[in-house]
Structure 1
Amino acid sequence: MQWQLKTFKELTTEELYKILKARVDVFVVEQNCPYPEIDNFDQASSHLFLEEDNQIIAYARLIPEKVMYDQASIGRVLVDKNQRGQGYAQLLMEKSLQIIVQQWGVREIKLHGQEYLRHFYGSFGFKEITEVYLEDNIPHVDMVLHTS
């Protein structure tokens, strides 16, 4: 098992398929939330994932500055439901932040997270910048991390 970081163009078609399947499984099927999963931000993003037994078990989309927001962003953060509770989410966020801060040199990161995860994101230093609001009938909050 090894973490992989790839640009959209570096992904094989099989990897892309597995990533999209994992995202749809969690965000559309599991959360019973029909929304446009294919949003045209993947092409400009880097994709951090952990694969085991030919299945994506953890994934995050790392979005550069000026693509979705003025700040860099971490999105589509997921751990396969059968792998939760084993520390993968913590590792995923640590690796995501390390890449964005150390490799990209970014000092401000914004995320748009589900409200129930605000304490999880807060444990990494993210601060809420909006009130809780509904998106696709799910409570969300926007958060920012200043790393400098």
Structure 2
Amino acid sequence: MTYEFSIKTFDELTSVDLYHILKSRSQVFVVEQNCAYQDIDSLDLDCLHFIAHKDEALIGYCRIIAPEFNTMVAHSSVSALGSMSAIGRVLVLPEYRGDGLARAIMIHAIKYCRKKYAKKPIAISAQTYLINFYESLGFVPNGEFYLEDGLEHVNMTLHLLKKVKVEKPGSPVTSILTFLLLVLALSFIAGLVYLML
């Protein structure tokens, strides 16, 4: 499947963009999940809106919440959860599921967060049936399950993997081979000296 991505602030969204975002969020999170809740919140104004397009039509979406606007601290064992960026409202329209689009959206959103927010950890509030999917991207649960709008959720965090400098000691096999090469080289030189005398 061929698709393109765009990312926009709320002010950069056209009225048509906003209509399609809200329509798709309502379709997936309210109608499909049979969950009446207030999808539109004040966070939309301060989020970055990440849109997957196919032939200019919205087929997937997520929003990126900057650390200063992330209010995701309840239900978590990580006290600093609110001081990191977050990814939310991740969706793929039903007819486009099963081709890896959700993974592509998340990978692009993660890369964007890493670049924009100084490689800090990233938070999500995941519906529990998606735990394995988010774990496959490196997120780890960090708290108890909780109900949000009647659906079971868990907070998860993607931590930055720290590069560890490991000294590479010579393995026993390498040491033995090095010793044997040294013995052969010395034997060769000794043989040459013997032949020259």
User: Residues 1-148 of structure 1 correspond to what in structure 2 (within 5 A)?
Assistant: 1-68=3-70, 69-148=82-161
Higher relative CO (CA 8 A, sep ≥ 6), structure 1 or 2?
1
CA shift for structure 1 position 66: 2.1
Distance 2:62 2:49 in 1: 6
Moved more, 66-75 or 85-94: 66-75
Give the residue type in structure 2 aligned to 1:26.
V
**Higher helix fraction (1 or 2):** 2
CA deviations on 1:86-144 (whole Å, 9 max, x unpaired) are 11001000000000002332411111010001111111111101122221111111001
Contact 1:72/1:106 (8 A) holds in 2: no
CA shift for structure 1 position 53: 4.4
Give the residue type in structure 2 aligned to 1:147.
L
Distance 1:97 1:112 in 2: 15
CA shift for structure 1 position 52: 2.3
Contact 1:46/1:62 (8 A) holds in 2: yes
Q: Secondary structure at the match of 2:83?
A: coil
Structure 1: runs of 5+ lacking an equivalent:
none
TM-score between both structures, scaled by the size of structure 2: 0.72
Distance 2:84 2:126 in 1: 15
**Higher strand fraction (1 or 2):** 1
Q: Secondary structure at the match of 1:41?
A: helix
Q: Secondary structure at the match of 2:30?
A: helix
Q: Secondary structure at the match of 2:118?
A: coil
Q: Secondary structure at the match of 2:19?
A: helix
Give the residue type in structure 2 aligned to 1:103.
K
TM-score between both structures, scaled by the size of structure 1: 0.95
Corresponding residue pairs, total: 148
User: Greater CA radius of gyration, 1 or 2?
Assistant: 2
Distance 2:10 2:118 in 1: 20
Output the aligned Cα RMSD.
1.2
